[in-house]
Amino acid sequence: MSSTTINPTADLRESAINALAPAAAFIDGQWRDGGGAAHTHRDPATGEELKSWSLPGAGEVEDAVAGAVAAQAPWSERSPAARRDLLLALANVVDAQSDTLAALVSLEMGMPLRASQAGVGAAAEWFRHYAGYADKIEGTVPAVGAPGKRGGERFSEAAWPNKLAPQHETLGTGACGIDDQ
């Protein structure tokens, strides 16, 4: 996701187009072009081509895994309260960018804007809910492994909170993960 914020008085569709990701993958703090197959994002309502980029390839997947592994130690070394506070802050960012995120979901999935807005609100609440686990369950990394979800279908780029937040208590207690989107 880009840092573009939608002006509520502006055309939401145009603003969402401008907020599409600038590259295929966000790895280790940077947007990166992919080394995989070409992908064209089309407006689901009109079929209009909106943006094209190369999808992540094996090299990007390896880099994403390496980035998650490298992030594991510093994240898990934070106090449970610090992890809780960061996840709560992330929920606040999702709320603050809710217009942008909802417009992106609608643009990518063809979902009605009201449904997208409800989904984005739920994503923020998921982060708040699971942030509460961080200082309630011993504050250690559980032995269940790093979170990560795999899905065969393409999810909206704005759906990452719904995929990442509900990784049970593992994120709040110090685990890291990647998204295969």
Number of H helices, E strands in the chain: 6, 4
Structure tokens at 30: 């940077």
Q: State which of 3-17, 90-104, 126-140 shows the largest mean pLDDT.
A: 90-104
For residues 105 and 156, the answer to whether their CB atoms sit within 8 Å is yes
Average pLDDT rounded to a whole number, residues 14-42: 88
| Tens of pLDDT, residues 74-129 | 998 999 899 999 999 999 999 998 988 899 888 888 888 899 999 999 999 999 99
Task: Evaluate if pTM is beyond 0.85.
Answer: no
CA distance 74 to 29: 15
For residues 107 and 77, the answer to whether their CB atoms sit within 8 Å is no
Closest to 170 in 3D by CA, of 149, 148, 150, 141:
141
Round the average pLDDT of the chain to a whole number and report it: 78
pLDDT at 6: 45
| pLDDT > 80? residue 37 | yes
- Residue identified by tokens 């280790």 is 28
CA distance 8 to 17: 15
For residues 24 and 1, the answer to whether their CB atoms sit within 8 Å is no
pLDDT band at 140 (very low <50, low <70, confident <90, very high): low
CA distance 21 to 127: 22
The better pLDDT of the pair 154, 103 is held by: 103
Average pLDDT rounded to a whole number, residues 53-59: 92
pLDDT band at 176 (very low <50, low <70, confident <90, very high): low
| pLDDT > 60? residue 10 | no
The better pLDDT of the pair 132, 178 is held by: 132
pLDDT band at 66 (very low <50, low <70, confident <90, very high): very high
Q: What are the domain boundaries of the chain?
A: 12-164
Beta strand pairing call for 25-27 and 30-32? antiparallel
pLDDT at 168: 44
pLDDT at 46: 85
Looking at domain 12-164, its CATH class is alpha beta
